[in-house]
Amino acid sequence: MSSHTHRREFLRTTGVAAAGVGLASLPLARGLAAEEGEPLYKVSVAEYSLHRMLRAGELDPRDYAPFCKETFDVDAVEYWMGPFSDKAQDAAYMGEMHSKAVDAGVKELLIMIDGEGALGDPEEAKRKQAVENHYKWVEAAKKMGCHSIRVNAQSSGDREEQRKLAADGLRRLSEFAAGHNINVIVENHGGLSSDGEWLASVMKTVDLPNCGTLPDFGNFRLGRGEMYDRYKGVSELMPFAKAVSAKSHDFDEQGNEVHTDYHRMMKIVVDAGYDGYVGIEYEGSKVPEVEGVLLTKRLLERVREELSA
């Protein structure tokens, strides 16, 4: 049985559509309808890959999508709200960004959100405010044609308490986002969120089909110098994945990423039945950002050929 067939059968025979939101109404963030002959996965570029250029004013955020099309020959991007954090409700600004992407033939997949408060804050009022702070980004993502917003599962307290608190905030936000046909996806992003087992348990607690994960290959720092096994973590998060972040830093002379075995990691992704976009997130400093993105793209394409053989 092919992975595509296995995935369709799993979705058909499980009760995810009964979890409060109809699955048919949700955007196909994962490649649920991939046909034979299509690539195992597609490649996109996350905006944080060019954060130095953006912060230096060398690239206008509104030009990000066409820049990626021309420079990297990709047809999809993931936005990061950092360069336009105060523009979510600026119709002219966001409209121009969207129009330029459409004109360039670039799909806008998601917006990565930071700094809007802890969705698992122990204080009810602060947790409620954090949820509501994200509403404008859900609305912006809808207007941009994105399928998701990426959020953080930040909380405090013991392990079980944080699970309940994070799940509460995520459920509230996901219920709002469902009304806009938008997914809420959580990245492993430090602390307990970098514990794959914990974050998977949060997903099971939320139990809504539009709440999922964005497994990142490199964000597995638990704190105090402790690291979670990245391959184990991605394996635990892939059943809930609606996007994937290919983190890269450094490369050897053969073009391999020295911190992550991309062949091993992408096999985990593909074996999970994922055939959507894999977003490049280059964070290295030894080569310029554009070169780092290109090196990651070549690596992903080479691994795709190897896994397709």
Tell me: the pLDDT tens digits for 259-269? 999 999 999 99
Please tell me the total number of residues recorded for the chain in this structure. 309
Predicted confidence (pLDDT) at residue 91 exceeds the cutoff of 80: yes
CATH code, 38-308: 3.20.20.150
Q: Answer with the residue of higher pLDDT: 270 or 35.
A: 270
Return the structure tokens found at 113. 């959100």
Q: Which residues pair with 78 in a beta bridge?
A: 46, 110
Mean pLDDT of the chain, nearest integer = 90
In the structure, what pLDDT confidence band is assigned to residue 35 with cuts at 50, 70 and 90? low
Q: Are strands 211-214 and 277-282 parallel, antiparallel or unpaired?
A: unpaired
Domain ranges of the chain: 38-308
Q: What is the model's pLDDT at position 142?
A: 98
- Residue 186 in contact with residue 196, Cβ under 8 Å? no
Q: What is the pLDDT of residue 37?
A: 78
Q: Is 251 exposed, middle or buried (0-12, 13-18, 19+ CB in 10 A)?
A: buried
Instruction: State the pLDDT confidence band at 224, using cuts at 50, 70 and 90.
Output: confident
Q: Which residues of 24-52 are buried (b: 16+ CB within 10 A; e: fewer)?
A: eebeebbbeebeeeeebbbbbbbbbbbbe
Could you tell me the pLDDT band of residue 18, with boundaries at 50, 70 and 90?
Answer: very low
What pLDDT, on a 0 to 100 scale, did the predictor assign at position 2? 35
CA distance 263 to 73: 22
What pLDDT, on a 0 to 100 scale, did the predictor assign at position 116?
98
